Every structure is written in C-alpha cells, then in structure tokens.
Amino acid sequence: MADILTKKERSAMMSKIRSTNTKPEILIRKHLHGLGFRYRKNQKAIEGHPDIVLKKYNALIFIHGCFWHGHDCPLYRLPKTNRKFWKKKIDVNRKRDEVVMAKLADSQWRTMVIWECAIRGKNGKEILRKISKISSWIKSKKVYSYSEVN
C-alpha cells in the first residue's frame, strides 16, 4: 500500500511531533507540582533523558508514547506503509529503553514509566487516582524498575 502523502509532506508532518513538553508530560508535571513536588525536566546529563527528575527522592519518571516505545496497547499499531522501517525503529527504541533502565537501576535510580494510554481520556477521577499512585511511589522507598502506572 502506498503512502497517501509525498515524502516531503510526511517529513513535515513527522517533524511536528514533539519529543518534550507533550500533553501527557505537562499533565503529570502540573499535578505533581500542585502536590508540592519540585523537579527538573528532561535532564540530558542523566541516561535516557528522563521526563521528570526528582533528585530529592532519587526518582525518575519517563512518560512514554505508546507508538514510539512499542507499548502493547490499542494505541500502538504499526503503520500500513513502510512496515519494515517502522518495525525496526520501534524494536531499536524498545531495546534502548531496556538498556537505559538497566543502567539507571545499576546507578541506584528508582524509575517509573507512565504510558500515554494510562493517562489519556477525559475521566478526571481516574487521572487523579493515577497521580495519587505516582505520588505515593515517589514518597516511598520502593525500588521499581521499569514499572507501569495503569
């Protein structure tokens, strides 16, 4: 199946996809800040460039897009065109995520992955419940490596 867009149009579309300050990141940060947490964002000096760094709690939060990180959920679906390219790209991303999480665990960082699908939707109570779960994890000393918030 051929792409309905030209290479130039597809490139322009893909270049508009953000890697930082996405809606899910902003939502989580806004709620955490409201709860009194202070953090740094997108720290390039830390392996994997975590979306939220809570140094005081030795905690890192990654907010992953389901497509780009190959999450097994309805939001992850390989495009019908150029499947080989996308499968390889997503597989490389998954492998890199595994390596990064292992290095962070070796460096004694506590990590949490929040998937885009876990915080999408309009159900405010559900999002608040998840924020509460995240807040409890941050304050705890629990060592999670590559955990998911559902």
pLDDT by residue for the chain (150 residues), tens only, comes to 566 767 677 666 666 566 666 888 999 999 999 999 999 998 889 999 999 999 999 999 999 988 889 998 887 888 887 889 889 999 999 999 999 999 999 999 999 999 988 887 766 667 888 888 899 999 987 776 545 665
> pTM, whole model, 2 decimals?
0.83
Q: Which CATH class is domain 18-148?
A: alpha beta
Spatial distance between the Cα atoms of 84 and 5, rounded to a whole number of angstroms: 18
Domains of the chain, by residue range, sit at 18-148
